Amino acid sequence: MDELIQAIHTTPIIDNHAHPLLKPSAISKYPLLTITTEAHGPAIEATKSSLSHIRAVNQLSKVLKCEVTWDAVEKAVQAEREKNGLDWEKRCFEGIETLLVDDGLDGGDEVFDYGWHDHLVESPCKRIVRIEKVAENIIQDILESGKITGPEVRFISKFVGSITDALADPEVVGFKSVICYRAGLDIQDINLLEVKTELRKIFEALYTSDAKTFRRIDEPAINYALVTMTARLIQESAAPRKPFQFHTGLGDNDITLTKSSPSHMQPFIRRHPEVPIVLLHASYPWTQEAGYLATVYENVYADIGEVFPFLSQEGQERVIREILELCPSEKICWSTDGHWFPETYFLAVTQVREALEVVLPEHVQKKAMSIPQAIQAVQNIFFHTSNKLYNLDLQLKLLPSPRLLDTSTQDLQHFKTFLAEHPEVKHIRLQYEDYTATSRLRVIPVKKALQVLTDNKALEVGITKASLGLLQNDTLAPGVTATGEYKLRAVLSTLRLGPGQGFASAQAEFYELDGTPAVLCPRSILRRTIKKAAAENLTFLLGFEIEIVFLSRHPTDYQPETLTHAAAHVWSSARALDVPRMIHMLSEINEILSEAGIDLEQWHPEGATGQYEFVLPPLTPLEAVDTLLHAREIIVAVAASHGLRATLHPKPFASKCGTAAHIHLSITSSIGEDKTVYEAFYQGILQNLNQITAFTYSHAVSYDRVKDGFWAGGRWICWGTQNRETPLRKIGGSHWEIKCVDGLANMYLAVAAILAAGTEGVIGGKGLQFGDCDVDPAELDEEGRKGFGITEMIHGSLEGALRGLGEGGSSVREGVRKWLGDEVVDRYVAVKTAELEMMGSMRGVLEKWRWIVERY
Give the tens place of pLDDT for each residue, 126-150: 999 999 999 999 999 998 887 777 8
pLDDT of residue 808 exceeding 60, the answer is: no
Classify residue 396: in a domain, yes or no: no
Q: What is the mean pLDDT of residues 695-712?
A: 81
Beta bridge partners of 244: 175, 277
- Structure confidence by residue, pLDDT tens digits, 298-334: 999 999 999 999 999 999 999 999 999 999 999 999 9
Burial of 275 (0-12, 13-18, 19+ CB in 10 A): buried
- Structure confidence by residue, pLDDT tens digits, 83-118: 876 888 999 999 999 999 998 876 678 988 999 999
- Structure confidence by residue, pLDDT tens digits, 14-40: 999 999 999 888 888 888 888 888 887
Boundary residue ending a domain (477, 497, 518)? 518
Note whether 496 and 539 are same-domain residues: no
Backbone phi and psi for residue 540, each to the nearest 5 degrees, phi listed first: -135, 155
CA 369 to chain CA centroid, nearest Å: 19
CATH number, domain containing residue 239: 3.20.20.140
Output the pLDDT for position 812.
Answer: 46
Is the CB of residue 308 less than 8 Å from the CB of residue 338?
no
Q: CA–CA separation, 542 vs 175, rounded Å? A: 55
Strand ranges, E, within 121-232: 126-130, 172-177
The answer to whether the bond into 124 is cis (omega within 30° of 0) is no
Smallest Cα–Cα separation from 4: which of 374, 406, 351? 374
Lowest mean pLDDT among 674-683, 752-761, 812-821: 812-821
CA dihedral 131, 133, 135, 137 (to 10 degrees): -150
552 CB neighbour count, 10 Å cutoff: 14
Is the CB of residue 813 less than 8 Å from the CB of residue 756?
no
Note whether 101 and 232 are same-domain residues: yes
Q: CA–CA separation, 807 vs 817, rounded Å? A: 11
Secondary structure class of 846 (helix, strand, coil): helix
Classify residue 637: in a domain, yes or no: yes
Q: CA–CA separation, 429 vs 499, rounded Å? A: 9
The DSSP code sequence of 210-274 is T-S-------HHHHHHHHHHHHHHHHHSPSSPPPEEE--S---TTS-GGG--GGGGHHHHHH-TT
pLDDT of residue 728 exceeding 90, the answer is: no
pLDDT of residue 581 exceeding 80, the answer is: no
Secondary structure class of 278 (helix, strand, coil): strand
Q: CA–CA separation, 73 vs 54, rounded Å? A: 11
Classify residue 630: in a domain, yes or no: yes
Note whether 694 and 823 are same-domain residues: yes
Q: Are strands 244-246 and 172-177 parallel, antiparallel or unpaired?
A: parallel
Q: CA–CA separation, 250 vs 244, rounded Å? A: 19
Note whether 165 and 217 are same-domain residues: yes
Is the CB of residue 387 less than 8 Å from the CB of residue 394?
yes
Classify residue 195: in a domain, yes or no: yes
Q: CA–CA separation, 529 vs 621, rounded Å? A: 10
Q: CA–CA separation, 694 vs 697, rounded Å? A: 6
Q: CA–CA separation, 285 vs 295, rounded Å? A: 18
Smallest Cα–Cα separation from 52: which of 310, 268, 251, 235? 310
Q: CA–CA separation, 796 vs 480, rounded Å? A: 28
Inter-helix orientation angle 70-92/51-64, to 10°: 70
Burial of 709 (0-12, 13-18, 19+ CB in 10 A): exposed
Which amino acid appears at position 268 of this protein? F
Boundary residue ending a domain (389, 417, 432)? 389
Which amino acid appears at position 398 of this protein? L
CATH number, domain containing residue 763: 3.30.590.10
Secondary structure class of 345 (helix, strand, coil): helix
Q: For residue 644, give the H/E element and its range.
A: strand 644-647
Output the pLDDT for position 280.
Answer: 96
Output the pLDDT for position 724.
Answer: 87
- Determine the number of helices (DSSP H) and then strands (DSSP E) in the chain: 28, 22
Q: CA–CA separation, 619 vs 489, rounded Å? A: 23
Note whether 532 and 508 are same-domain residues: no
Instruction: Round to the nearest angstrom and report the end-to-end CA distance of the chain.
Output: 34
- Structure confidence by residue, pLDDT tens digits, 337-351: 998 999 999 999 999
The DSSP code sequence of 418-467 is HHHH-TT--EEEEEEE-TT--EEEEEEEHHHHHHHHHTT---EEEEEGGG
Q: CA–CA separation, 686 vs 760, rounded Å? A: 12
Note whether 683 and 552 are same-domain residues: yes
Secondary structure class of 35 (helix, strand, coil): helix
Output the pLDDT for position 826.
Answer: 87
Angle at 340 between CA 338 and CA 344, to 5 degrees: 40
Q: CA–CA separation, 226 vs 192, rounded Å? A: 11
**pLDDT confidence bin for 809, thresholds 50/70/90:** very low
- Structure confidence by residue, pLDDT tens digits, 462-520: 999 999 998 988 888 898 888 889 999 998 889 999 898 899 999 999 998 877 888 89
Burial of 479 (0-12, 13-18, 19+ CB in 10 A): exposed
CA dihedral 821, 826, 832, 838 (to 10 degrees): -160
DSSP state letter for 795: P
pLDDT of residue 564 exceeding 70, the answer is: no
Note whether 689 and 714 are same-domain residues: yes
Note whether 503 and 542 are same-domain residues: no
Classify residue 480: in a domain, yes or no: yes
Smallest Cα–Cα separation from 543: which of 463, 468, 631? 631
Please state the domain count of the chain.
Answer: 3
Domain containing 470: what range?
Answer: 407-518
Residue 447, CA distances (Å) to 440, 487, 495 in order? 22, 20, 16
CATH number, domain containing residue 452: 3.10.20.70
Which amino acid appears at position 629 of this protein? L
* pLDDT > 70: percent of the chain: 95
Boundary residue ending a domain (484, 499, 518)? 518
Q: For residue 76, give the H/E element and its range.
A: helix 70-92
pLDDT of residue 642 exceeding 90, the answer is: no
pLDDT of residue 558 exceeding 60, the answer is: no
Q: Most confidently modeled of 365-379, 573-587, 666-680?
A: 365-379
Classify residue 57: in a domain, yes or no: no
Residue 599, CA distances (Å) to 469, 602, 603, 606, 615 in order? 34, 9, 11, 20, 9
**pLDDT confidence bin for 403, thresholds 50/70/90:** very low
Note whether 512 and 596 are same-domain residues: no
Q: CA–CA separation, 687 vs 701, rounded Å? A: 24
Q: CA–CA separation, 464 vs 667, rounded Å? A: 38
Output the pLDDT for position 568.
Answer: 66
Note whether 498 and 532 are same-domain residues: no
Q: CA–CA separation, 734 vs 720, rounded Å? A: 13
Note whether 109 and 19 are same-domain residues: yes
- Structure confidence by residue, pLDDT tens digits, 622-639: 999 999 999 999 999 998
Beta bridge partners of 772: 719
Q: What is the mean pLDDT of the chain?
A: 87
Classify residue 41: in a domain, yes or no: no
Note whether 430 and 294 are same-domain residues: no
Q: For residue 729, give the H/E element and its range.
A: strand 728-732
Classify residue 67: in a domain, yes or no: no
Output the pLDDT for position 557.
Answer: 44
More confident residue, 822 or 315: 315
Which amino acid appears at position 401 of this protein? S
Is the CB of residue 67 less than 8 Å from the CB of residue 61?
yes
